[in-house]
């Protein structure tokens, strides 16, 4: 009775799955190569400008330091090779003949367009000699730079403070650089040899160094900027490809989700919904007969109720199976073996003899465990739905570099034409499985022939 009622139920056509267009699907923003190149170039230009600014500052300091080193070197050469040999005791004592001999040499060999004034100081601040004779014998307090040069014995330099009284005669020259060098006289007295050098000459030396380094600096920065343009283009193209790949992956995920929902809806309609509808109609008909027909065969009613109970249990089992498919078990907590055993328990309830072969210790990543379970789940579902198998075996094997899963049944099998026809009818579970396996880099092989059963082989490199 129940089978007749279920047979009369109309088949409800489910709405065909529509593929979402790229415009309707959420996807990563498209990457414009010219725009990205422009952004990279702008960032590169900014970086080049920052590098250029830092480089110009460093080169400027280096050029200034080199110009000052040149001024100090000039003073060292003049002091040690020209002036020091003439520093007799008479010069220290202020004897006119000794000072005259020193003055003639200073004027011919030291004073120049660079050096405009020369002074010799004692540590007490007395001017022993100057090319400006009016300063000889005068005493002025020494500054920290002069005293530091006396103490260290090394050459030193500083910008001239033209506001000091001892420098009043140099004010007409404008900015000057003072360079100090301690020299030892013939009688052992330490004197401070001081030259005043034109700042314009110092700046000319600085510019000469700067002009020598500037072309190489500009060329280097230009090469840096030019080379980053093709690099920016390649990076932008890579971003564009990555964006397309992400969009395609997202679209596949959306399509897979839609196909899965369509499959679940079809399974619900063709299985539990049909069964429960038949149960409902059958129980209603029997209730009506019990109410109005006093001669009804109670044995037939009992058989009908028993059949309805069986159909209800089948529907509950199918609903539980669908619940597991929609929300798979926690594999990390419960373990892969327990999850596979539950899959086979459902097959045994359908009358299929099952076998599970699993290593005692199987340590896998969560991703590999999930993929193994999904392949086993889809394979078992296909066996129960299409194969009509008597036996079903799941075997998991762990090797040094891989883990494999084999799902073997002795069902009706299929060929390529049957597979194509099933996919055209909307049975896309195996296609989804192949897609998912391919995305993970694993290998899935399906070996089947009509009448010879089916073997599903999964290999995951670990």
* pLDDT given for residue 119 in this prediction: 94
Name 359's Cβ contacts closer than 8 Å, sequence gap at least 6.
396, 397, 398
Decide which of 159, 190, 206 is a domain's last residue.
206
More confident of the two residues 243 and 24: 243
Q: For the chain, what percent of residues have pLDDT higher than 90?
A: 26
Residues 172-185: tens digit of each pLDDT:
999 999 999 999 99
CATH of the domain at 428: 3.30.565.10
Domain stop point among 206, 240, 271: 206
Higher model confidence: residue 314 or residue 92? 92
Q: Residue 196 in 3-state DSSP?
A: strand
pLDDT tens readout for residues 287-329 = 777 767 667 766 777 777 777 777 777 777 667 666 656 655 5
pLDDT at 132 over 90: yes
pLDDT, tens digit (0-9, with 9 covering 90-100), for 27-41? 445 556 677 667 766
Q: pLDDT-based confidence at 113, cuts 50/70/90?
A: very high
Q: Which domain holds residue 446?
A: 331-462
- Rounded to 5°, the CA angle 104-106-109 comes to 105
Q: What is the pLDDT of residues 193-235, one digit of tens each?
A: 999 999 999 888 888 877 777 787 777 777 766 776 777 677 7
Is residue 1 predicted with pLDDT exceeding 60?
no
Residue pair 84/125 in contact by the 8 Å Cβ criterion: no
Spatial contact of 106 and 180, defined as CB atoms under 8 Å apart: no
Predicted confidence at residue 168, as pLDDT, reads: 92
- pLDDT for 185: 93
How far apart (Å, rounded) are the C-alpha atoms in residues 402 and 153?
A: 78
Q: What's the rounded Cα separation, in Å, for the pair 188 and 209?
A: 39
Average pLDDT for the chain: 79
pLDDT at 11: 40
Question: What's this model's pTM, rounded to 2 decimal places?
Answer: 0.44
- Do 205 and 67 contact (CB within 8 A), yes or no? yes
Non-local CB neighbours of 419 within 8 Å, separated by 6+ positions:
430
The reply to whether 171 falls in a domain is yes
For residue 279, tell me if it sits in a domain: no
* Residue 225 covered by a domain: no
Q: What is the CATH number of the domain that holds 145?
A: 3.30.450.20
Q: What is the pLDDT of residue 155?
A: 92
Q: What is the pLDDT of residue 14?
A: 39
Give the pLDDT confidence of 412-439 residue by residue, as tens digits: 887 767 667 766 665 556 666 777 787 7
End-of-domain residue from the set 206, 227, 251 = 206
Helix, strand, coil percentages (3-state) for the chain, rounded to 5, are 60, 15, 25
Total domain count for the chain? 2
User: How many CA atoms are closer than 13 Å to the CA of 231, on its beta-carbon side?
Assistant: 10
Looking at the structure, tell me whether residues 202 and 336 fall in a common domain. no
SS3 404: strand
Structure tokens at 122: 């004692």
Give 330's DSSP letter. -
């Amino acid at each position: 009775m129940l089978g007749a009622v279920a047979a009369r139920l109309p088949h409800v056509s489910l709405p065909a799955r529509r593929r979402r267009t790229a415009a309707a699907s959420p996807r990563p923003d498209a990457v414009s190569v010219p725009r990205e190149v422009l952004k990279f170039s702008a960032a590169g230009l900014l970086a080049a400008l920052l590098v250029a600014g830092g480089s110009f500052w460093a080169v400027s300091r280096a050029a200034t330091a080199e110009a000052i080193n040149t001024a100090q070197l000039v003073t060292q050469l003049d002091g040690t090779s020209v002036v020091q040999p003439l520093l007799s005791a008479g010069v220290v004592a202020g004897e006119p003949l000794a000072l005259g001999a020193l003055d003639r040499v200073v004027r011919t060999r030291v004073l120049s367009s660079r050096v405009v004034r020369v002074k010799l100081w004692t540590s007490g601040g007395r001017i022993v000699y100057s090319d400006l004779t009016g300063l000889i014998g005068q005493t002025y307090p020494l500054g920290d730079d002069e005293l530091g040069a006396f103490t260290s014995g090394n050459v030193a330099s500083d910008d001239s403070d033209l506001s000091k009284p001892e420098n009043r005669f140099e004010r007409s020259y404008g900015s000057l650089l003072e360079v100090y060098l301690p020299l030892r006289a013939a009688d052992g007295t330490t004197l401070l040899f001081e030259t005043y050098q034109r700042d314009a000459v110092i700046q000319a030396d600085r510019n000469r160094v700067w002009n020598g380094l500037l072309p190489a600096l500009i060329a280097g920065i230009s090469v840096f900027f030019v080379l980053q343009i093709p690099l920016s283009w390649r990076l932008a193209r890579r971003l564009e490809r990555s964006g397309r790949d992400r969009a395609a992956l997202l679209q596949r995920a959306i399509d897979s989700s839609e196909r899965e929902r369509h499959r679940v809806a079809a399974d619900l309609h063709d299985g539990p919904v049909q069964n429960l509808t038949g149960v409902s109609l059958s129980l209603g008909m029997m209730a009506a007969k019990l109410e109005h027909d006093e001669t009804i065969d109670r044995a037939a009613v009992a058989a009908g109720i028993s059949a309805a109970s069986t159909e209800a249990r089948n529907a509950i089992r199918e609903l539980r199976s669908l619940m597991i498919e929609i929300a798979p078990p926690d594999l990390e907590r419960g373990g892969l073996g327990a999850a596979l055993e539950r899959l086979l328990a459902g097959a045994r309830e359908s009358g299929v003899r099952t076998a599970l072969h699993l290593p005692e210790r199987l340590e896998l990543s969560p991703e590999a465990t999930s993929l193994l379970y999904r392949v086993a789940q889809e394979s078992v579902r296909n066996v129960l739905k299409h194969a009509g198998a008597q036996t079903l075996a799941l075997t998991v094997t762990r090797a040094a570099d891989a883990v494999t899963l084999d799902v073997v049944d002795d069902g009706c099998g299929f060929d390529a034409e049957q597979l194509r026809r099933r996919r055209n009818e909307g049975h896309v579970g195996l296609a989804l499985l192949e897609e998912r396996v391919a995305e993970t880099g694993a290998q899935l092989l399906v070996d089947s022939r009509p009448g010879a059963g089916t073997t599903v082989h999964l290999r995951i490199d670990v």
